Amino acid sequence: MAALTVTCLFAKTVVDYDHSVSFSKYHTYSWIAVRGWWAGGPGYATTSVERTPIGTLDIDIFDSQSKKVIWHVVYSDTLTGNPEKNEKKLNKSVADAFKKFPPPEKG
């Protein structure tokens, strides 16, 4: 079973995955809620001012047994002032991401 985490918004694509995992063994999934910062543990944050509204979408798929991320996607794109247009961009981004899932089996 794999768990799926989705945070915030949009569309320059970076996809990575655990190349040692056989994705054919996964047949179910579940959504988990993200409250606050999901990275966990203490750390430092840097704050900067940026005047261009940029949305970011992170999708992580975890192996429920090992609790390790096995597939990861990050999108980022400039947002418009039009929520409907932003939603269309988001929907297209998610659809494009899952065209690449599951990754090809190792041969």
pLDDT digits (tens, 9 = 90+) for 14-26: 778 888 888 888 8
Do the Cβ atoms of 106 and 18 come closer than 8 Å?
no
Does some domain include residue 17?
Answer: yes
pLDDT in tens, 70-100: 988 888 888 888 999 988 888 888 888 888 7
Does some domain include residue 79?
Answer: yes
Tell me if the pTM is above 0.75.
no
pLDDT, position 50 = 60
Does some domain include residue 44?
Answer: no
Does some domain include residue 104?
Answer: no
pLDDT, position 44 = 61
Lowest mean pLDDT among 2-6, 18-22, 31-35: 2-6
Residues of the domain holding 85: 2-34+52-99
Does some domain include residue 47?
Answer: no
